[in-house]
Amino acid sequence: MFREVPVLPVVVPLAVVVLLGLLWHLRRRALLTVPRAAVAVALCVYAAGVVANTVFPVYLDKPHEAVWQLYLDPFAPYEVADALMNVAVFVPVGVLVPLVLPRAPWWAAAAAAAGFSLLIELSQFLTGNLLGGGHLADVHDLFFNVVGGLLGLALLTALTTVPALDRLVERFRWR
């Protein structure tokens, strides 16, 4: 049995610090309302959950393999279930980014999804090869995460074409 870095004592304090920073940011700009605070909470819970499930476990004494585990071939076989899960997990990015950055163009959601996904893949690469992490970095994950972010943006955009839903969504936007 390998000893591992505990997830909750690492992820929860980081999420709380980020949440406090976001609430301070909203308050400082006189934007702090319950709906906007709910977006901040959702963003922190979402990010903490993704990090907890994609970067951890990190083992303290797992033997390291001599081969660097990094999958960069976009034409290599990839499981459909993995693709669908990566898309689904990143749909919230496409919903949350336009709420937090309300005047951002469509590509900001794609860039946020790509940046967040790249950070995860780099974390997986580093923990998997240097610290005995339990995940592998894969270019397919990056691609399907961006697709998920764009799908989330498309869903939010479609919902806001309904006037009543658009008014509701406006209460959550950080402007």
Q: Which among 56, 81, 76 has a CA at the least distance from the CA of 4?
A: 56
Whole-prediction pTM: 0.91
pLDDT per position as a tens digit, 75-115:
899 999 999 999 999 999 999 999 999 888 999 999 999 99
Q: Is the pLDDT of residue 66 over 70?
A: no
Q: What is the pLDDT of residue 134?
A: 76
Q: What is the pLDDT of residue 65?
A: 63
Is 73 within 8 Å of 153 (Cβ atoms)?
Answer: no
Residue of higher predicted confidence among 131 and 172:
172
- What does the CA dihedral 36, 174, 101, 147 come to, rounded to 10 degrees? 30
| Whether residue 13 has a cis bond before it, omega within 30° of 0 | no
pLDDT per position as a tens digit, 109-164:
999 999 999 999 999 998 888 777 778 899 999 999 999 999 999 999 999 999 99
Q: Is the pLDDT of residue 7 over 80?
A: yes
Distance from the Cα of residue 126 to its chain's centroid: 18
Structure tokens at 76: 């290599």
Q: What is the pLDDT of residue 71?
A: 85
